Amino acid sequence: MKFTAQQIADILEGVIIGNPNEEVSKIAKIEEGGKGALTFLSNSKYSPFLYTSNASVVIVNKDFEPAKKTVSTLIKVENAYESFSKLLAFYNQVRNNKIGIEQPTFISNSSKIGIDVYLGAFSYIGENVVIGDNVKIYPNSYIGDNSTIGDNCVLFSGVKVYSETVIGNNCKIHSGAIIGSDGFGYTRDKNSVYEAIPQIGNVILEDNVDIGSSCTIDRATMGSTIIREGVKLDNQIQVAHNVEIGKNTVIAAQTGIAGSTKIGEACTIGGQVGIAGHLNLGSNLKIQAQSGISKNLKAHAVVQGTPAFNYNDYFKSYVHFKNLPELVETVSKIKKEINAEKELE
C-alpha cells in the first residue's frame, strides 16, 4: 500500500517542503527511517535524527525550521504528533477494510448480517444472531446464539462471544477475548461438594468499548454484566459476573474485578489491581498499580497499597517503611543505653 507525500498532505491539511511525489509504503520511528518510510518529529530532542534519517517523508510542526539540508520531504502541520496519530488511524482503517465472507464459515439461516461485513474463515455465527453494518469478524471467531453486534465493530481472530451477548456500535475486541463465559458461582453441600449455580444472565458492551487480548468478561448470574460506553480494557483483565464498569473508565492489564462490584465513570485503574466483590467505587478514581481494593471508595479518591489507602499517606508511610531497619537499630541502641543506666543505679 503506497501513498505520496501530496496524498498525505491533503489528508492532514499540511504544507509540503520537498518532493510532493515522494512515495511511502511503511511507517517507522525517525531514528530507524529508511527509503519508503513515513515518520514524524514532534520532540526537539529527536531533531538530530532528522539529518541522519533516510525516511522518505517526515511530518513536522509548522514552526520547525531545519538547521541543515535533509534528504526527506517534510510535511508541515499544526501538531506533528496529533497529525501522525490521525494518519495511523486512517492507515489502520484502510488496511483493515476487508469485505466478504471467506470459506469455510458457518452462518445460521436465522441470523441477520448487515452490509459490508467481513467474516473470516472458520467463523461460526449462531442462531438468531444480528450483526450490524461494516462489522469485521476475523478468522476462528465464535458468535453464540441470540447475540447482537452493532455497526462498525471489529472482532479480531479467535474472539469468543457466548450466547445472549449484546455488543454496541464501534466496539473493538482483540484476539483471545472471551465475552459471556459463566460467572464463578458455586454452592457447597454438607459433604463439601461444590455445585455450579446456573448463570442465566448476559454481558452488555455499550458503544465505543475496547477490549484487550485475552480478557474474560463473565455473564451475570441473573441480569447483566455491563461495560458502559467508552470503557477501555487492556489485555488479560478478568471481569466477574454482575460487575458494572462506568462510562469512560480505563483499566490496565492483569486487573481482576470480583463479582457484583460497581465502578463509577472516568476512573483510571492501574495494572495488577485486585478489586474485591460487592463494592461500590465512585467516579473519577485513580487506583495505582498493584493495589488491593477491599472497601468502598468515594469519588475522586487517589489510592495505593494493599489494602489500598490515600496515595499521599501511602508515600509518607513508605518513607518510614524504607527507614525501618535504621529505626529499629536506633531503638535498640536507646534501649541498651537505658538498660545500662538502670544497672548503674
The CATH number assigned to the domain holding 179 equals 2.160.10.10
Mean pLDDT for the chain? 92
325 within a domain of the structure (yes/no):
no
**Grid cell at residue 24:** 511511502
pLDDT band for 210, please (50, 70, 90 cuts): very high
| Domain boundary pick from 40, 65, 95 | 95
The verdict on 77 and 140 lying in the same domain is no
Residue 275 has pLDDT above 90, yes or no: yes
Question: How confident is the model at residue 306, as a pLDDT?
Answer: 81
| All residues at 6 or more sequence positions from 318 whose CB lies less than 8 Å from its CB, including other chains | none
pLDDT tens readout for residues 215-268: 999 999 999 999 999 999 999 999 999 999 999 999 999 999 999 999 999 999
Q: How many residues does the chain have?
A: 345
26 within a domain of the structure (yes/no):
yes
Identity at 217, one-letter amino acid code? I
The verdict on 185 and 293 lying in the same domain is yes
Question: How confident is the model at residue 310, as a pLDDT?
Answer: 80
The verdict on 144 and 239 lying in the same domain is yes
| All residues at 6 or more sequence positions from 336 whose CB lies less than 8 Å from its CB, including other chains | none
Q: Which range has the top average pLDDT, 80-89, 204-213, 302-311, 318-327? A: 204-213
Smallest CA-to-CA distance from 66 within 12, 18, 110, 105 is with: 18
d(CA 180, CA 197): 15
Assess contact for 297 and 318: CB atoms under 8 A: no
Looking up residue 73, the CATH number of its domain turns out to be 3.40.1390.10
Residue 316 has pLDDT above 80, yes or no: no
* 308-to-256, 274, 278, 311, 314 alpha-carbon distances in Å: 15, 10, 16, 8, 8
Question: How confident is the model at residue 345, as a pLDDT?
Answer: 64
Question: How confident is the model at residue 235, as a pLDDT?
Answer: 98
Q: Which residues are catalytic?
A: 241
The verdict on 30 and 150 lying in the same domain is no
132 within a domain of the structure (yes/no):
yes
| All residues at 6 or more sequence positions from 34 whose CB lies less than 8 Å from its CB, including other chains | 28, 54, 55
The verdict on 259 and 111 lying in the same domain is yes
pLDDT band for 311, please (50, 70, 90 cuts): low
Question: How confident is the model at residue 331, as a pLDDT?
Answer: 84
Smallest CA-to-CA distance from 235 within 216, 218, 222 is with: 216
The verdict on 88 and 131 lying in the same domain is no
201 within a domain of the structure (yes/no):
yes
Assess contact for 217 and 227: CB atoms under 8 A: yes
| Domain boundary pick from 45, 75, 95 | 95
pLDDT band for 327, please (50, 70, 90 cuts): confident
Which domain range does residue 197 map to? 100-312
327 within a domain of the structure (yes/no):
no
pLDDT band for 125, please (50, 70, 90 cuts): very high
CA contacts within 13 A on the Cβ side of 80 = 21
The verdict on 70 and 119 lying in the same domain is no
Residue 302 has pLDDT above 70, yes or no: yes
DSSP 297: B
Better-predicted residue by pLDDT, 331 or 176: 176
Share of the chain above pLDDT 90, in %: 71
In the three-class reduction of DSSP (H, G, I as helix; E, B as strand; rest coil), residue 47 is classed as helix
d(CA 265, CA 245): 7
The verdict on 82 and 166 lying in the same domain is no
317 within a domain of the structure (yes/no):
no
DSSP string, 153-185: -EE-TT-EE-TT-EE-TT-EE-TT-EEEEPP--
Q: Which of 162-176, 264-278, 306-320 has the lowest mean pLDDT?
A: 306-320
Question: How confident is the model at residue 198, as a pLDDT?
Answer: 92
337 within a domain of the structure (yes/no):
no
pTM of the model: 0.79
Strands 23-24 and 3-4: antiparallel
In the three-class reduction of DSSP (H, G, I as helix; E, B as strand; rest coil), residue 320 is classed as helix
| All residues at 6 or more sequence positions from 113 whose CB lies less than 8 Å from its CB, including other chains | 107, 119, 125, 131
Question: How many domains, in total, are found in the chain?
Answer: 2
Smallest CA-to-CA distance from 272 within 231, 237, 228 is with: 237
Share of the chain above pLDDT 70, in %: 99
Q: Which of 76-80, 280-284, 330-334 has the lowest mean pLDDT?
A: 330-334
The verdict on 42 and 110 lying in the same domain is no
The verdict on 196 and 273 lying in the same domain is yes
pLDDT band for 178, please (50, 70, 90 cuts): very high
Mean pLDDT of the 273-297 span: 96
306 within a domain of the structure (yes/no):
yes
d(CA 143, CA 297): 36
d(CA 232, CA 162): 20
d(CA 270, CA 102): 39
Question: How confident is the model at residue 231, as a pLDDT?
Answer: 98
| Domain boundary pick from 40, 69, 95 | 95
Mean pLDDT of the 31-60 span: 90
